[in-house]
Amino acid sequence: MVDRIETMSAPLYSLLFKTVFTRMEPEQAHHLVVTGLRTAHRIGFGGILEKLTRPAPELKTQALGLEFPSPFGLAAGFDKGATAVLPLGSLGFGHIEIGTVTAQAQPGNEKPRLFRLPSDRALINRMGFNNDGAAAVRRRLEKTRQRAERLRSRGRHTPVIGVNLGKTKVVPLEGAVEDYLSSTKILAPLADYLVVNVSSPNTPGLRQLQEIDSLRPLLRAVREESAAAAGRQVPLLVKIAPDLADADIDAVADLVVELGLEGIIATNTTISRHGLRTPETEVEPIGAGGLSGPVLAQRSAAVLKQLRDRLPEDVVVISVGGVVSAEDVAQRLQAGADLVQGYTGFIYQGPFWVRRINRGLAKLKKKSKK
């Protein structure tokens, strides 16, 4: 039965993707999938799903002082508002990074703002941090935590929950520190780990915060505020862009060490359009936005290598960008990533994608032990 799901799920999803989802506006398809998943969970399918997808015990991974059921997790941006953390967890993700959340609620950019490039299995997005704001997300996370506690007491698998923070669009760059501090205060108590996102290409000026003179006071302030708000040291990571020059990557790595932060997430989407199969005549009219998917893999892997060479072993690197298979995840782990995330592969491969990755990883682990 389980193996039948394994062999049937990929072609079935592929058919559904080609016949239904590609005819829908990508954002609408996203909402449909999330609603379906939440409904399945609400009517009691969570337990069944979880039995089918539960990561093998040997995939348990220690990082950031936490135990992750699998080294593979869902990257930020899919569940911006923490509306489906446990349903997503029941697909087998070891962690769910919610957000990006901003201090104030905001609508994001005008639609359409999410585009598929099927020949590259890639996406271009300029969502612009559409989200309900830190206070609303906090209320949802409180409920999620209570539910997770109940599930855990019944021996069920629940994911680690990361919270990714960004700057409210209407707040000028000079007010960025205060803005991040107000979301930190609200959300740090509910986060297993926190991420300062300074690398989205879709909030004007945001990536300037990656410059060391801006980043140092920002990270220092968030570090202090998160500890004060949560009453514990909340692991803090910074998420960087793949478009940074190598010297700037080294500078961020050195800063993370200087400030004693727990890690770096590399990378966000790219503003480059290099290496695409989709003709320029289709890509150009889409306009601005961050590109994700396999086309990003090479740069993301190079940034991982550079960070690993530069950073002491105890600083965590979460690798993200273009990962689509168990082999891809295993390669990132071998290259020194502590954890790996994915997003675009989920859109193209569907709900059993994570399960395939976890099972593939467990097999590769067994093979390497032989």
Ligand X SMILES: Cc1cc2nc3c(=O)[nH]c(=O)nc-3n(C[C@H](O)[C@H](O)[C@H](O)COP(=O)(O)O)c2cc1C
Please report which residue ranges of 116-205 form alpha helices under DSSP H. 134-153, 176-187
* Cis, peptide link before residue 267, omega less than 30° from 0: yes
DSSP designation for 128: -
Q: Give the integer Cα–Cα distance in Å for 297 and 160.
A: 25
Residue 127 annotated as part of some ligand binding site: yes
Q: Considering the complex, state which of residue 50 and residue 79 has its C-beta at the smaller distance from ligand X.
A: 79
Write 14-20 long-range contacts (CB < 8 A, 24+): 14/350, 16/350, 17/348, 17/350
Q: Considering the complex, state which of residue 276 and residue 320 has its C-beta at the smaller distance from ligand X.
A: 320
Q: Please state the closest distance from residue 118 (CB atom) to ligand X, in A.
A: 14
Residue 1 annotated as part of some ligand binding site: no
Q: Considering the complex, state which of residue 29 and residue 114 has its C-beta at the smaller distance from ligand X.
A: 114
Q: Considering the complex, state which of residue 168 and residue 269 has its C-beta at the smaller distance from ligand X.
A: 269
Contact set with ligand X (CB under 6 A): 75-77, 80, 99-100, 114, 123, 125, 127, 129, 164, 197, 200, 239, 268-269, 292-293, 296, 320-323, 342-345
Q: Give the integer Cα–Cα distance in Å for 277 and 298.
A: 15
- Tell me if residue 200 is catalytic: yes
Residues 6+ apart with CB under 8 A from 255: 212, 215, 216, 219
Residue 80 annotated as part of some ligand binding site: yes
Q: Give the integer Cα–Cα distance in Å for 108 and 87.
A: 25
Residue 322 annotated as part of some ligand binding site: yes
Q: Give the integer Cα–Cα distance in Å for 274 and 106.
A: 31
Q: Please state the closest distance from residue 13 (CB atom) to ligand X, in A.
A: 17
Q: Please state the closest distance from residue 320 (CB atom) to ligand X, in A.
A: 5
- Among candidate residues 9, 183, 199, 200, the one labeled active-site is 200
Q: Which two tokens stand for residue 213?
A: 């003179």
Q: Please state the closest distance from residue 277 (CB atom) to ligand X, in A.
A: 16
Residue 239 annotated as part of some ligand binding site: yes
Q: Show which residues are catalytic.
A: 200
- Binding residues for substrate, by number, are 80, 125-129, 197, 202, 268-269
- Binding residues for FMN, by number, are 76-80, 100, 164, 197, 239, 267, 293, 322, 343-344
